[in-house]
Amino acid sequence: MPARHPRRALLKAGLALAALLTTPVLSHPARAAEKLVFMLDWQAEAEHGGYFQAVAEGLYQKAGLDVTIVPGGPGMSAQQMLAAGKIDGTIGSNAFYVLNLVEAGAKVKAVAAMFQKDPTILMAHAQNTTSLADLKGRPIFLGDPSINTLWRWLKSKYPYEDGQIRRYTGSLAPFLTTPAAAAQGYVTSEPLIAKKAGSDVKVFLLADQGYDGYSGLVMFNDAYIQAHPAAVKAFVAATAEGWRHYLHGDAAAADALIRKSNPDMDAETLAYGRKALVDNGIVEGTPAGSNAAGPDAIGRMTAARWEGFTTEMKRLGIYKAGTDWKAGVDLGN
């Protein structure tokens, strides 16, 4: 199951939920009508800015929700916890998460896509790369979850072979010291890391190369959706509003909460990530994309896009012929 970023690879949960909830990031007073525990797919960062903006502005409270946001990270599988009913909601880093859970028979559904474009990139050294086709025969560092999914899509479009694969374990050092290499990454972070290391890189956002999967998917346990349909709708609406304000308003309060949750996060990285989300149309889409661009696109999912993505991945042999995306997607929110 590919994570939306190599360092977000799914790992077996190493902590009990009880231990998790003793150190929540943020918790509102119990005056809200509906309690909701939502777990991030990684430690707090700009890619979660809309959620923290909603907290900072009290948007969840205004929507009648008592939301507890729990950080993700190494040793935690939010999707497994969600399927087991130990948390109410979480983030599916990309569309593969949804289809993998469908094939596993998990009773969870994606109810919104906060990222209209997947932020996954391939990054190469600029001095010898002008296009993705140039990477033929060269080492490409990939996270394990992408090898049996995203890599198959890449091979269907470019003259790549499995012998090019190198394991990306979270450190860019091997890429930085190998001039011919490329590396998988995230448009909001890896290019900045490379720049800080003195490397000039060429960045290819795969969403702009035809990869059409949703990302930043808001997912809920089926039981919670059935018991609290109004709360799910309210959460999606408040989060979408949070994203609009985070991208185009004053993000200082949200960034402060992110840094409080994740002390390793710095202001430069947050600013870079936020700008990358805007410049690349990650949250709102772009005119050239599958969806109309703009604030109203936040959270949107369409049956046509899910059908197209699933059909293509079936063609590549990633999923069974009978896999039905509708078993893992709720378009009513």
Helix (H, G, I), strand (E, B) or coil at 114: strand
pLDDT band of 1, cuts 50, 70, 90: very low
Residue 79 or residue 195, greater confidence: 195
Tell me: pLDDT of 61 over 70. Answer: yes
Tell me: pLDDT of 27 over 90. Answer: no
Mean pLDDT to the nearest integer, 326-332: 96
Q: 94 and 214 in contact (C-beta within 8 Å)?
A: yes
pLDDT band of 12, cuts 50, 70, 90: very low
- Domains by residue range for the chain, with CATH: 6-117+213-328 (3.40.190.10), 120-209 (3.40.190.10)
| Burial class for 49, CB neighbours closer than 10 Å (0-12, 13-18, 19+) | buried
Starting at the earlier edge strand, list the strands of the sheet with 108-115. 26-27, 65-70, 34-39, 89-94, 215-221, 108-115
One-letter identity of residue 313: M
Helix (H, G, I), strand (E, B) or coil at 246: helix
Res 277: pLDDT: 97
Mean pLDDT to the nearest integer, 236-251: 98
Mean pLDDT to the nearest integer, 86-106: 95
CA distance 38 to 33: 16
Tell me: pLDDT of 152 over 60. Answer: yes
Residue 53 or residue 7, greater confidence: 53
pTM (predicted TM-score): 0.89
What percentage of the chain has pLDDT greater than the value 70?
87
- Note the pLDDT tens digit of each residue in 116-125: 999 999 999 9
If you ran DSSP here, which 8-state letter would residue 219 be given? E
Q: Which two tokens stand for residue 35?
A: 């309690």
Q: Provide φ and ψ at 32, rounded to 5°.
A: -65, 155
- Least-confidence region, from 78-87, 142-151, 282-291: 282-291
- What Rg do the C-alpha atoms of the chain give, in angstroms? 19
The owner of tokens 């939301």 is: 67
Res 10: pLDDT: 34
Res 289: pLDDT: 44
- The dihedral built from the CA positions of residue 173, 174, 180 and 186, taken in this order, carries a sign that is negative
The CA-atom distances, in angstroms, between 302 and each of 129, 148, 197, 211 are 35, 25, 40, 16
- Note the pLDDT tens digit of each residue in 265-312: 999 999 999 999 999 999 999 754 444 566 689 999 999 999 999 999
Tell me: pLDDT of 20 over 80. Answer: no
CA distance 273 to 270: 5
- Least-confidence region, from 14-23, 66-75, 174-183, 283-292: 14-23
**At 241, which helix (H) or strand (E)?**
helix 229-248
pLDDT band of 77, cuts 50, 70, 90: confident
Res 333: pLDDT: 67
CA distance 224 to 232: 8
CA distance 97 to 1: 6
Res 33: pLDDT: 65
The chain-wide mean pLDDT, for the chain, equals 89
Helix (H, G, I), strand (E, B) or coil at 121: strand
Tell me: pLDDT of 60 over 90. Answer: yes
Residue 297: how many CB atoms within 10 A of its CB? 18
Residue 42 or residue 8, greater confidence: 42
Residue 190 or residue 2, greater confidence: 190
Tell me: pLDDT of 235 over 60. Answer: yes
Q: Which two tokens stand for residue 95?
A: 């569309």
Which residues are CB-neighbours of 250 under 8 A, at least 6 positions away? none
Q: 182 and 175 in contact (C-beta within 8 Å)?
A: yes
Q: Which two tokens stand for residue 287?
A: 């005119």
Q: Provide φ and ψ at 96, rounded to 5°.
A: -60, -35
Tell me: pLDDT of 14 over 50. Answer: no
Tell me: pLDDT of 74 over 70. Answer: yes
